[in-house]
Structure 1
Amino acid sequence: MTKRNAITVAILGSLLALPSFAQEAQQDQDKKNVDEKIQVVGSRLSMRTATDGAAPVDIISAEDLLKTGITETAKALQFAVPSFNFPQSSITDGSDAVRPASLRGLSPDHTLVLVNGKRRHKSALIHLNGTTGRGSSNVDLNAIPMSAIKRIEVLRDGAAALYGSDAIAGVINIVLKDNADGGMITATGGQTYEGDGEQWKLSGSTGIAVGDGGALTLSAELHHKNRTNRAGPDPRQQYPLLDNGDPDPREATFDRYSFHVGDAEYDNAALFANYEQALGNGTLYAFGGVSDRTSKSGAFYRRALQDGNLTEIYPDGFLPILAPDVNDYSGYVGYKWMVGEWTLDLSGGMGQSKFQYNVEHSLNASLGPDATPTEFDAGTLINTETNATFDVSRFVPFYNNSDLSVAFGISYRRANYQIEAGEEASYINGGYQDRPGGSQGFTGFTPESEVDQSRNNTGLYVELENQLTMDFMWGAAVRYENYSDFGSNTSWKLSGRYDLTDRFSIRATANTGFRAPSVQQLYFTNISTLFVDRGDGLVPEQSGTFNNISDVAQSLGIGELQPEESQSYSLGFVWNGYNGLAVTVDAYHIAIDDRIILSGDVSPEDSPVVADALEGTTAQNARFFVNAVDTTTQGVDVVVAKTFDLGSNGDLKTQLAYGYNDTEIDAIHLPQLLDGLESQLFDRTEQVRMTDSTPESSASLGFTHSIGAWTSTLQLSYFGKYTIDYSSGAETYGPDWLTDISVGYQVNDAWQVKAGVQNLFDQYPDERGENNQFNGIFKYPLTNSPIGFNGGYYFAEVTYQF
């Protein structure tokens, strides 16, 4: 039995073995989950509602995530939190399988992700192509099944002084279900208006009482999705001319819809557990999970006449398929107990992400028709993170008879990054007829690219919080971190809130933060075939990504990567009005120095220094990671929520959320030896990607109406303008509006049915300009679209609660 089959069998077994408990117990647990809207993120010490803190926090319940029928955790979060961006992409290699997500218009790696308040590991994949966040790695939120989630807390404020590296834009804390009884099983199915993208998902969770007051919650998911395709026909010549110069007759019968532009085919299996048990004078807890995903997405079609094809194998050309196997494993265990007035929490955990590149329906033309395989293992990326923390907290008497919350602690983290070479046929050049070497679609990692490097860091923090008077609350934190590679960093945070009246409060924060260069940015290296836009079309080149410890980077004067450092300020107000009305408005200013970028390509023709550095390598150009840019991001977030009692007509919950942000480049500073190459290293395309590739504003207006056994939802989502720069010039897309509706009916205490439509009016992004459609094949932008390019989608769902 293969590993994937074993995981699938285990998940099916857990779903089929869900115990049957009383419906009343589940209803009690559901009520508890709704009432227990307290924040863990943003304060280690206080239990507050979303509007009671000094910084803005969104609390998204499991019900909020599930109500529109969205099947991916990250995509559901995009429609729940307007400042969160999760754009669609296609033909972006590994990024088709693990898409980048970002908060407040910043890079994906500027947002820290926690699970149950503990740091979550990042994906091994680093985004190298034209997506938002190029050069970054992010946490794969879709590795966490929605069936395991009790709520998600989104802190929209810097928090490096509280949690360490990465928390510049904010923090996402995923709280897992913790019920001791009851559960649910849900089956979902749907497809697009076009009749493709068919998908089904079977998910469930159950709570099991353990011992005296203990609880084990198991959650599982099986998810399959077929691909979508919105490619235009390829009008180009496909076959060599005949000996007499006439076109090949097969040109008339060739299926010109040969490209794949759309969502990848997708299979995911996940199993999560959350455990808590009273032990001695404390609580033992543990949680973790495993997910296994495969996807299949297309690369560029290889025409029959191209050198990269062998007509003996593919007489009509072929579409290489990138089919990575993405595995995530995580586990945490801890013990929380009291010693006198002190609360102590000792925990440790490990998380690992493996991204194995597989290439199907391909070939290595340089090996010839008799020797080349058609499927390849192109190599594996592995990121492993180990964390250990010891936290101590208590309340001590303070000024004016108030209590001062005191917390301090120490943390240790070790990160290891590995690149394993692919099989020889995936990268070798066999010399056959001067054809290009390596597996077409994605060239494998060579033995020279293999890496096994680690770094560690230790952090010390102190955090204070005090409700000085009935009207005034303040907090302060400082954190010192020491890294084995670049040294140390100290961050601080101040926060305050003043209640001017019982209903109106002002709040503000000021903090410094940092983001340590990730191990992916420190150690990733590879030479592969990439299609590069040189102004006269996309051409293949052997492009080298060289890490900072390589001879190439050192000879170019690329220094060691240093941490990005930030200074953030926020100011806002909270209005808790009458009859449940809540309004929050928060403005923010985030300045980041020394942002790390993946540079553009430089070639021997650009400089003799580059020519000397690349001598002896197979690369035609070079790129690398470098601290090069200072930016300032400013914006405002608005949330308005209100519940209406309609009497005999039921209840209506409404929420309006709006986010605006703008990023500007303050300075560009590049290595001295490459002076004069700014237009290549950080060109217009990359500048636009950093500042304008995400919508400048986004908003949502949601209505949930309940009457009797019926529940209906209507959500209007707005995404503002965003820009993509091409060789022929920049193009701006948007704004876009989406309308989602769903209707649910509670058949009885156990069964519920639901049906709905996402993108009711079948909206698509603006089309690319004629000069940027690649012969009409790429009708829509391949990256950055917040609404994707699938059009309308309808679904049905059945849930059994026990």
Structure 2
Amino acid sequence: MALSRTTTRLQLLAGASILAACPTIAWAQATDANAAAGAEGAGDIVVVGSRIEGARVTGALPVSVLDAERIAATGGISGDELFRSVPQAGDVQFQEARTTGNLNDARGDNASINLRSVGTGNTLVLLNGRRMILTPGTQTENFVPVQTANTNSLPIGATRRVEILRDGAAAIYGADAVAGVVNVVLDDRFEGIRLDGRYGFADGTSEYTVAAKAGFATESGGRFMVFGSYTHRTPLFTSERDFAVSEDHRPALIGTPWEGDTSFDNRSTSSPWGSFTTVPVTAVRQGTTALTTSGVFHIEPTSNTAAGCSSTVINGNLCLRSGTITGANSRVLRYDENPDRTIRGELDRINLYSTFSQELGAVELFGELGYYHAELTGQREQSAPISSAPIIIPASNYYNPFGAATINGVANPNRLAGLTNVPAGGLALRITTYRPVDTGPRTFTVTDDMVRSLLGLRGEMGKFKWESAFTYSWARTEDHTRNAISNTLFQRALALSTPDAYNPFNGGNQTSYSLGDTTPSNPATINSFLIDVYRIGKTSLATWDARISTPDLLTTSAGDVGFASGVEIRRETYNDNRDDRLDGTTTYTDMVSGITYGTDVMGASPAPDVSARRTVLSAYAELAIPLVSPDMNVPLVQAFDVQLAVRDEHYSDFGNVLKSKVAAAWEVMDGVRFRSSWSQSFRAPNLAQFYSAGTQVANTRTDFAQCRINGTPCSGVSTLEVRAGNQDLGPEDAETLSFGAVVQPIRNLTLTVDWWQLDSEGVIGLQGAQNQILFDLLERQSGRSNPNVVRAAPVGTQIVGDLQFVQDNYFNLGPRRLRGLDFALNYRLRNTPLGTFEIDLAASKLLRFQQSPSELQSTLIAANAAGTLGTGITITQAGSQIAVNGNPRWRMSGNLSWRSGPFSAGVLVNHVGPVFDTGTARVNGQFYELDSYTTVNAYVQFRAGDDAGILSGTRLRVGARNLFDQRPPLASTNYGFLGSLHDGVGRFVYFQLSRDF
């Protein structure tokens, strides 16, 4: 019945639209198309915000416009570099300064946009007014997989302007337009030929770009534009930045209240100084000295006298010490992964794009064809075994200190003497923490390809303009990791009873404990278990739309009523094809225990393939209604205009939704305008959230339920978390309300302010494994248990058994409330004796960001407040998020440009306010605060005049990004800075030469 009702609605709206369409020029904002971000001059037409061409209503919606000059002022050539300069853009979660996820992450030349910090995937990105495809890669944000349009795939060099609608627009554009819409408009009116060459460099890295653009019009009514660019960038290693050379950032905190905070020491306990557990768990002694704690021991260098030895010396300068390397005296044995990493990888990027139009009598044929290709090669540390696929070293291992008494008929030279509780056949050892660093780091190459094609017709029929087009896009990402390790092959190498066996007991670097391994195993043995691993993702997007539009459907006493209507069919597919060693095709069976695990790649959790598709049918209608006009002479109301819009969508796998929008503009007098809008938004779960069969990840959690009930010490343990899609997920519904004012007190000066509020229901997330464990503690205090926390049966004196895994499926969280202010100023001073000046200022202030707790979280918060859970517990994922991690209270940008004759110059200042780093310890109840971050971009340019002969049309630009080499604020991340907000490249100087023909 739902489908029948939906079909009826679609038929009604389709009939109204006459299966035709309007060009996508909009009335949404009184913005000068040549103004910079936030400039909002009167009477100009922009694309984003409405489907009605030529409507009289202006200024009802908050739209920022970045013109070509403002884009160039960023000094960037990628979408990521461009959108980071927009104050409302939020933090960037798809970026290279991430070290988590590895194959499960959207690596490569990827960048996202997150308007209002509502969350990646809540901003709709359009290219020439039509939807862009989502990248095949996903990554976790708030623990759930999200997708985004890849802003790095945009042809920035062919862009005429970027329009940013800072308001919900689902009623006009459909799903994803919760936080707003970004529309990139290509320079399809360009005529002539332009060649560009650019070279830039920063300490430790360089980059060059060559580009060409050509456009022409024909006498027969044709117009063509073609653009192509190629960029090559060298890698940036952590060794080139003093703040990223090590994962231990504690030296930078000396003299501060956070001095010694181990949250800033990200070195890994999985190091060449391995920790091992006897199988079965056995208390081993050498003479009267205990070598193990609960069966656990680790390798210790004899030179680390602070820790000391438990055993006699092995291999001349090593010994065994009971327990793991987590103790304070053994902290020096943790592995520093940063020397094995790149901050930015080596990149090759190609952008090709073309547009055309051709008049065919009363009809115009138009189209687009684009291609994007990128290869990014980076480097990461070697992986380590994880709890979801443990590695057991057989007793037969030649170097096993608890191995068999005899090997190959002779006495075992590596078995320690005088052992008790170790049988003659030896003991197998489970790797607790160990990293085979002697294999060298892993390298990865991510190859991204995207094709976009469009073909359409447009024309006029009476007073209506119509347009219809078909688009088809596909994207493919191949993530290829080299030098990975097969669990099966690694265990075979461990099982050898000859000197060729892999030796995990020989420690690491004797001089610098945290760096590398100076005692590698046999190279042939190492090569025997190294493998390549692949992940291939594909997405596709096919759309057909038809629209009609007229600015004068009918005439009232206040003026003409504009109308637009249309239909759209959208087909999306998503395929995630994991390597056979990851998706369960090739498994790993432990030769000691006989247990089979779903992954045969060391350090990688099993992840099944995903294949999903969705069809969306939609129809919309929009009215632009003037209620008061200047001719009516209404006091204090020079004009009053209203926009009404409604959209109906039906999802093949999800159901139905109907959303609406109302916006109004009140012109008090010339130069004074007030505006307001109310809109409903909707976002269905993405295909990964809806269809994923689940992934397993291992994270360090504290099992409070076991330690507090069993009366044992509480410490972090590796915990297996199973996260799965959920086809019972509801949508994320939102309502947006905004009020604003536009004031033009003098000529060429525009001031704007907008207050906005976004209320969301059903935000998709997780309860969180730590919260699930805490709820298990609370339930067990009442004689129950949390079924999502799966445990083994208690052993011996245990009351609560060991934790096996936590089931944590995606679900709809409680309400989220956001509120903020946007400010903008634009002033142009033309034709002075010193030239023409223009200044643009834009700022965004976050007033409220409140995530309401779920029912489970509310229960835990109440229990924690009552002291029921004990001390030292923080309930996460709820409460105020202002100035927390990626959500600064303030973001600002200012752009000053100058032109005089052949010379021009510009300065762009970007400011990101301070945030608290919740990954740190609390001092006096407060997390560590990252300082505000202000950078300056600048350029100077000379353009040869038309009388310069062979040099006419030549432009030389010299510029710099982060001119004063501002270093990013210290954070507790691996690289020492927060890559979603800040930049670790430093000062980047560039030279650009262009020639017009």
Q: Which residue of 2 aligns with 1:506?
A: 674
**What are the within-5 Å matches in structure 2 for residues 89-488 of structure 1?**
89-92=97-100, 93=102, 94-97=105-108, 98-128=110-140, 135-179=145-189, 181-192=191-202, 195-209=203-217, 212-228=220-236, 229=238, 230=241, 231-233=244-246, 238-239=272-273, 241=300, 244=313, 247=317, 258-260=339-341, 262-302=343-383, 316-368=438-490, 374-394=530-550, 395-400=552-557, 402-424=559-581, 428-429=587-588, 431=590, 438-440=600-602, 442=604, 445=607, 449-468=608-627, 469-470=629-630, 471-488=639-656
Deviations 1:188-232 (A, max 9, x none): 22222xx21321122222114357121221112212222322433
- For 2:172 and 2:386, locate their aligned partners in 1 and report how far apart those are by CA, in whole Å: 58
What letter is aligned with 1:416?
A: T
Corresponding residue to 1:740 among 921, 927, 937: 937
Shift in CA distance, 530/508, structure 1 to aligned 2, threshold 3 Å:
same
**What is aligned with 2:73?**
67
Q: 2:592, 2:245 → 1: CA distance?
A: 33
Seen in structure 2, the aligned counterparts of structure 1 residues 127 and 677 have a Cα distance that, compared at 3 Å, is farther
Query: C-alpha displacement at 1:244, in angstroms?
Result: 1.8
Structure 1 counterpart of 2:928, from 727, 731, 749 = 731
Tell me the TM-score normalised to structure 2 length.
0.68
Q: Distance in 1 between matches of 2:822 and 2:987?
A: 28
The alpha carbon displacement at 1:393 in A equals 1.8
Find out whether 1:77 has 2:83 as its counterpart. Answer: yes
- Report the counterpart of residue 426 of structure 2 in structure 1: none
RMSD: 3.9
Q: State the SS of the aligned residue for 1:718.
A: strand
Query: Could you tell me how far 1:174 is from its partner in structure 2?
Result: 0.9
Whether the 8 Å contact between 1:629 and 1:665 is mirrored in structure 2 is no
For the residues of structure 2 that align with 1:341 and 1:718, how far apart are their CA atoms? Answer: 48
- The 8 Å contact of residues 123 and 383 in structure 1, kept in 2 or not, is answered as yes
Structure number, greater radius of gyration: 2
CA positional deviation for 1:641: 0.6
Q: What's the counterpart of residue 637 of structure 1?
A: 822
Distance 1:125 1:663 in 2: 31
Q: Which residue of 2 aligns with 1:7?
A: none
8 A contact 1:705–1:713 mirrored in 2: yes
Aligned partners of 2:33 and 2:65 also within 8 Å: no
Give the letter aligned to residue 173 of structure 1: N
2 CA distance for matches of 1:688 and 1:569?
A: 20
Question: Which residue number corresponds to residue 660 of structure 1?
Answer: 845
Quickly say closer, same or farther: Cα 1:379–1:666, change in 2 above 3 A: closer
Could you say if the C-alpha distance between residues 314 and 609 of structure 1 is closer, same or farther in structure 2, counting changes exceeding 3 Å?
Answer: closer
The CA deviation at 1:588 is: 0.7
1:609 counterpart = 2:775: no
Q: Secondary structure at the match of 1:86?
A: coil
Please give the residue correspondences for 1:698-709 in structure 2 after superposition, counting only pairs within 5 Å.
698-709=891-902
Choose which of 6, 25, 38 in structure 1 pairs with 2:45. 38
Q: Distance in 1 between matches of 2:452 and 2:549?
A: 26
How far apart are residue 276 of structure 1 and its match?
1.4
User: SS of the residue aligned with 1:654?
Assistant: strand
Opposite residue 175 of structure 1, the aligned amino acid is V
Paired AA for residue 718 in structure 1: H
Give the 5 Å matches for 1:560-709: 560-601=728-769, 606=776, 607=785, 609-610=787-788, 620-645=805-830, 647-665=832-850, 667-669=852-854, 684=876, 692=884, 693-709=886-902
Partners of 1:487 and 1:419 in 2: CA distance:
24
Secondary structure class of the residue paired with 2:788? helix
- Please tell me whether the aligned partners of residues 757 and 820 of structure 2 are also in contact (alpha carbons under 8 angstroms): yes
Tell me if structure 2 keeps the 8 A contact 1:588–1:636. Answer: yes
Partners of 2:144 and 2:764 within 8 A in 1 = no
Q: Distance in 1 between matches of 2:559 and 2:87?
A: 35
Deviation for aligned residue 1:586: 0.9
Kept after mapping to 1: 8 A contact 2:907/2:938: yes
Task: Encode CA deviations 1:262-320: one digit per residue, 9 max, x unaligned.
Answer: 22332222211212111231211111312122223344455899998999997635322
Checking the alignment, whether the CA contact within 8 Å between 1:663 and 1:691 is kept in structure 2 is no
Conserved? CA contact 2:85–2:910, under 8 Å:
yes
| Counterpart Cα distance in 2 of 1:279 and 1:505 | 42
Moved more, 80-89 or 593-602: 80-89
Q: Distance in 2 between matches of 1:378 and 1:528?
A: 18
Confirm or deny: 8 A CA contact 1:362 1:375 kept in the other structure: yes
Instruction: Measure how far apart 1:33 and its partner are.
Output: 8.1
Q: Percent identity?
A: 19
How far does residue 425 in structure 1 lie from its aligned partner after superposition? 7.5
Query: Which one-letter code corresponds to 2:456 in the other structure?
Result: G
Q: Deviation string for 1:746-787 (max 9, x for gaps)?
A: 14432111111211222223223xxx46xxxx3523543x22
1:526-541 matches, within 5 Å, as 526-532=694-700
SS state of the match for residue 562, structure 1? coil
Alignment partner, residue 19 of structure 1: none
Residue equivalent to 2:965: 762
Q: Secondary structure at the match of 1:64?
A: helix
CA change 1:352–1:528 in 2 (3 A) is farther
1:409 and 1:756, CA in 2 relative to 1: closer, same or farther beyond 3 A?
Answer: same
In 1, the alpha carbon distance for the partners of 2:453 and 2:791 equals 43
Structure 1 residues 647 and 113: CA distance shift in structure 2, 3 A: same
Asked whether 1:490 is paired with 2:490, we answer no
The answer to whether the 8 Å contact 1:153/1:173 transfers is: yes
Alignment correspondent of 2:19: none
Change (3 A) 1:716 1:632: same
Equivalent residues of 2:735, 2:759 under 8 A apart: yes
Q: CA deviation at 1:153?
A: 0.7
Task: Give 1:514 shift.
Answer: 1.1
Unmatched segments (≥5 aa) in structure 2: 1-31, 36-42, 249-266, 274-298, 302-311, 320-331, 400-434, 494-524, 631-638, 704-713, 777-784, 794-802, 945-950
Q: Structure 1 regions of 5+ residues with no counterpart?
A: 1-31, 550-559
- Provide closer, same or farther for how the CA distance between residues 271 and 309 of structure 1 changes in structure 2, counting only shifts above 3 A: farther
Alpha carbons 2:553, 2:561 under 8 Å: kept? yes
State how far apart, in whole Å, the 1-side matches of 2:345 and 2:529 are.
23
With the length of structure 1 as denominator, give the TM-score of the two structures: 0.83
Relative distance call for 1:463 and 1:256 in structure 2 (3 A) is closer
Q: Give the superposition deviation at 1:171.
A: 0.6
Q: Which residue of 2 aligns with 1:24?
A: none
Which amino acid letter does the alignment assign opposite residue 580 of structure 2? Answer: E
Contact 1:56 1:157 survives alignment (8 Å)? yes
Residue number in structure 2 paired with 1:780 = 976
Q: CA deviation at 1:543?
A: 4.1
| C-alpha distance after superposition, 1:15-64 (max 9, x if no partner) | xxxxxxxxxxxxxxxxx985996311101114489x94201111111222
Q: Which amino acid aligns with 2:610?
A: V
User: What is the Cα deviation at residue 357 of structure 1?
Assistant: 2.4
Q: Distance in 1 between matches of 2:612 and 2:882?
A: 29
Q: Residues 642-701 of structure 1: CA distance to partner in whole angstroms, max 9, x if unpaired?
A: 1123633111111111111244335333589x9999999x95257677983222211112
Answering whether residue 797 of structure 2 is matched by residue 797 of structure 1, we say no
